[in-house]
């Protein structure tokens, strides 16, 4: 497990402290300090990373230290990261640098004054930060207009997420040869006809009952994400200048009716709601399932088994589940929403108020944010893990092979993609992606996902974290509303008929209103409006 988190400020520093250089610990940068010549004297920072607790000593880490003079003591919680973060904040025992998920907890740190404002530091010591982040710095400002963190995995990337995954070999057997590989979407009726054809043609496989469609009951978000995408639903329903819950969008009940019709026709696995992940993957691997609704990468394990057990090894690739776009009636295929992605990123990397040398800290983060830093963190060391050929980054074959054989093990050994602080989505200036392992080489499933669904990506940033702050009465209302949504969704899908599904939907709305949904929607609208003003 991980070392306890504590401030390392009592340890002597090999470089001048902030007070010695004239830069106050509050992050107000000294005008006399030079941004053109970053300090490279050895210094050690403590860094709390809620995601990774590995020692900062692999080849990538060593190269980062060589170029910046910064050594990190990585800290990660024992147990729940959120609990440890709350404990550190309450005890005022803070490490020098922190990576915290964006949302309530990060906002709590900002409200408590635990993070250093970065604006002046960035202006004087962050040229690469300003260049790479651009307008993102405007969008990640706090309500007081100041920046307290740098996002990672930021910037909108046109990349697929959800889709209807269908066995390509079965698709071809059912007569959909023309759409199996060409990127054209299926209409809702075409999809229903395929499900019916599969059920008629394959009532059993090797003596086992088959189902045209199943889901992972432990991942409702993937199910709703896929069907909402089909109907072009957004995270919230905007109407008459107000932000309402998505369940009030007229397309939501149409989605429920469609799903219910699939269920009442016997096209959905009746056990879907209780499928655990392992059971779900086993069903997909068994050859008794034609389709599912999921993020395309979640079929990785079943696809590997299906390829290995394919009767015709010359066509083993086609035995896999491939992602396709299915479009609801009356919906523009270009306005489907299978790819919700936030340009604001995942985590916030900040400098704590306990950091005694915020200038060195921002210079360190500025290096990591630079293109040089991006490729170092995500590709490794030049000449060791990759080479520059004809002006492009080219990975060593053994690096790609190492990740194919053992992703986690090779990442730990090499340091490549071990830490993703300040990482930006998309390609670098030479066109190669910063994310070597996730984007440089894609398999046939990912290739078709990009072809079929990349155009459904949309930025959720305007809708991120519109809900109430934690610890407020409204937060309790939100929890109750979420519980009602989780409770009624499977019931509506599995209702005996459409009329009963509609009654359950209406009952859900009534109970949500009783729980305080209208009050929550005022919070959504107010936060949405404030954000729009802040981003101007």
- Topology alike, domains 43-156+345-438 and 162-342+447-460: yes
403 in Cβ contact with 437 (< 8 Å): yes
Give the tens place of pLDDT for each residue, 367-408.
Answer: 999 999 999 999 999 999 999 999 999 999 999 999 989 988
- Encoding tokens for residue 528? 């949405």
In this structure, the number of other CB atoms found within 10 A of the CB of residue 205 comes to 12
- Where exactly are the structural domains of the chain? 43-156+345-438, 162-342+447-460, 473-535
| Model confidence pLDDT, tens digit, residues 129-172 | 999 999 999 999 998 999 999 999 999 888 999 999 999 999 99
| CA separation for the pair 113, 118 (Å, rounded) | 13
Dihedral of CA atoms 353, 419, 458, 191 in degrees, nearest 10, equals: -140
Which tokens in the block code for residue 74?
């990585």
Closest CA to 414 of 386, 438, 439, 372: 386
What is the four-CA torsion angle of 288, 294, 296, 300, rounded to 10 degrees?
A: -50
Structure tokens at 208: 């086992």
HEC secondary structure over 55-123: CCCCHHHHHHHHHHCEEEEEECCCCCHHHHHHHHHHHCCCCCEEEEECCHHHHHHHHCCCECCCHHHHH
> DSSP readout, 382-421?
BTTTEEEETTEEEE-HHHHHHHHH-HHHHHHHH-TTT--T
Confidence at residue 82, expressed as pLDDT on a 0 to 100 scale: 87
What dotted CATH number matches 162-342+447-460? 3.40.190.10
CB-CB contact of 105 with 342 (8 Å): no
Rounded CA-CA distance 231/166 in Å is: 19
What span, in angstroms and rounded, lies between the C-alpha atoms of 38 and 360? 8
What is the rounded CA–CA span in Å between residue 291 and residue 268?
Answer: 9
If DSSP codes are grouped into helix, strand and coil, which group holds residue 165?
A: strand
How does strand 162-167 pair with strand 289-295? antiparallel
Q: Are 283 and 217 in contact (CB under 8 A)?
A: no
Q: Strand runs (DSSP E) across 285-325, as ranges?
A: 289-295, 321-324
Residue 22 has pLDDT above 60, yes or no: no
* Residue 24 binned pLDDT confidence (cut-offs 50, 70, 90): very low
Going by pLDDT thresholds of 50, 70 and 90, the confidence category of residue 472 is: very high
What is the rounded end-to-end Cα distance, in angstroms, of the chain? 45
Report the C-alpha gap between 157 and 454 in whole angstroms.
9
Q: Which residues of 94-121 are buried (b: 16+ CB within 10 A; e: fewer)?
A: bbbbbbbebebbbbbbbeeebbbbbbbb
Residue 6: pLDDT over 60: no
Backbone dihedral angles phi then psi of residue 188, each to the nearest 5 degrees: -60, -40
Phi-psi sector, 495: left (phi>0), alpha (psi -120 to 50), beta: beta
Top-level class of domain 43-156+345-438: alpha beta
Render pLDDT for 180-237 as a digit per residue (tens, 0 to 9): 998 899 999 999 999 999 999 999 998 999 999 999 999 999 999 999 999 999 999 9
| Over residues 353-373, mean pLDDT | 98
* Radius of gyration in angstroms for the set of CA atoms belonging to the chain, rounded to a whole number: 25
Beta bridge partners of 339: 457
Distance CA 237, CA 340 (A): 15
Could you please report the per-residue DSSP string of 431-459?
Answer: S-BS-IIIIIS--HHHHHHHHHHGGGEEE
Q: Which of 151, 183, 92, 52 is nearest to 453 (CA)?
A: 183
What is the predicted pLDDT for the residue at 79? 77
Tokens of 240: 């008459």
SS3 23: coil
CA distances from 175 to 202, 250, 318, 453 (A): 14, 34, 14, 22
**C-alpha span between 358 and 43 (Å, rounded):** 12
Q: Is 304 helix (H, G, I), strand (E, B) or coil?
A: helix
Contact 251, 233 (CB under 8 A): yes
Closest CA to 226 of 196, 268, 266: 268
pLDDT of 27 over the 80 cut: no
pLDDT at 11 over 70: no
pTM metric for this prediction: 0.83
Q: Are 377 and 60 in contact (CB under 8 A)?
A: yes
- In this prediction, residue 36 carries a pLDDT of 57
- The tens digit of pLDDT for each residue in 495-528 reads 999 999 999 999 999 999 999 999 999 999 999 9
Nearest to 17 by CA among 361, 269, 275: 361
Quote helix, strand, coil % in the chain, to nearest 5. Answer: 50, 15, 35
**Is the Cβ–Cβ distance between 49 and 419 less than 8 Å?**
yes
Task: Read off the pLDDT of residues 58-75 as tens digits, 9 standing for 90 and up.
Answer: 999 999 999 999 999 998
Q: Higher model confidence: residue 229 or residue 51?
A: 229
Lowest-confidence pick of 440-444, 506-510, 527-531: 440-444
Residue 259 predicted with pLDDT over 80: yes
Q: What does the pLDDT look like over 272-296, one tens digit per residue?
A: 999 999 999 999 999 999 999 999 9
Q: Is the pLDDT score of 3 beyond 60?
A: no
Give the other-Cβ count within 10 Å of 1's Cβ.
8
pLDDT of 77 = 67
What distance in Å separates the CA atoms of residue 318 and residue 526, rounded to the nearest whole number?
49
């Amino acid at each position: 497990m991980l070392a306890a988190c504590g401030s390392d400020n009592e340890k002597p520093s090999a470089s001048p402290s902030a007070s010695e250089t004239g830069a106050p610990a509050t992050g107000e940068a000294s005008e006399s300090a030079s941004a053109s010549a970053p300090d490279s004297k050895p210094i050690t920072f403590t860094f709390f990373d809620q995601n990774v607790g590995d020692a900062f000593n692999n080849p990538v880490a060593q190269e980062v230290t060589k170029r910046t003079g910064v050594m990190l003591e990585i800290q990660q919680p024992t147990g729940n990261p959120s609990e440890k973060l709350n404990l550190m904040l309450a005890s005022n025992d803070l490490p020098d640098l922190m990576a915290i998920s964006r949302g309530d907890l990060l906002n709590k740190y900002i409200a408590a004054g635990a993070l250093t404002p970065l604006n002046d530091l960035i202006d004087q010591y962050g040229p690469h930060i300003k260049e790479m982040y651009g307008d993102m710095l405007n969008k990640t400002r706090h309500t007081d207009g100041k920046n307290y963190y740098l996002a990672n995995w930021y910037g909108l990337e046109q990349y697929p997420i959800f889709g209807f995954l269908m066995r390509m070999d079965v698709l071809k057997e059912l007569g959909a040869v023309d759409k199996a590989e060409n990127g054209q979407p299926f209409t809702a009726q075409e999809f229903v006809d395929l499900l019916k054809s599969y059920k008629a043609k394959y009532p059993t496989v090797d003596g086992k009952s088959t189902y045209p469609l199943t889901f992972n009951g432990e991942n409702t978000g993937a199910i709703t994400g896929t069907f909402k995408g089909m109907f072009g639903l957004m995270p919230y329903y905007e109407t008459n200048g107000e932000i309402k819950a998505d369940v009030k969008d007229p397309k939501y009940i149409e989605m429920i009716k469609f799903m219910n019709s699939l269920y009442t026709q016997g096209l959905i696995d009746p056990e879907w709601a209780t499928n655990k992940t392992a059971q779900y993957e086993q069903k997909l691997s068994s050859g008794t399932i034609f389709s599912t609704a999921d993020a395309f990468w979640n079929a990785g394990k079943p696809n590997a088994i299906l390829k290995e057990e394919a009767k015709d090894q010359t066509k083993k690739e086609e035995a896999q589940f491939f992602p396709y776009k299915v479009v609801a009636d009356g919906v523009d295929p270009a306005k489907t929403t299978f790819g919700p992605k936030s340009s604001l990123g995942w985590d916030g990397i900040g400098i704590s108020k306990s950091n005694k040398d915020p200038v060195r800290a921002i210079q360190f983060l500025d290096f990591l944010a630079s293109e040089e830093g991006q490729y170092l963190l995500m590709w490794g060391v030049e000449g060791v893990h990759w080479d520059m050929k004809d002006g492009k980054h080219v990975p060593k074959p053994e690096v790609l092979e190492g990740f194919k054989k053992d992703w986690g093990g090779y990442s730990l050994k090499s340091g490549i993609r071990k830490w993703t602080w300040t990482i930006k989505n998309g390609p670098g200036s030479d066109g190669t992606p910063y994310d070597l392992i996730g984007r440089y080489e894609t398999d046939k499933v990912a290739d078709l996902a990009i072809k079929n669904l990349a155009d459904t990506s949309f930025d959720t940033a305007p809708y991120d974290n519109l809900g109430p702050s934690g610890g407020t009465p409204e937060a309790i209302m939100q929890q109750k509303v979420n519980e009602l949504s989780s409770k009624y969704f499977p019931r509506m899908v599995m209702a005996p008929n459409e009329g009963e599904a509609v009654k359950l939907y209406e009952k859900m709305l009534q109970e949500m209103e009783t729980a305080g949904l209208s009050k929550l929607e005022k919070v959504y609208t107010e936060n949405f409006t404030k954000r729009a003003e802040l981003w101007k």
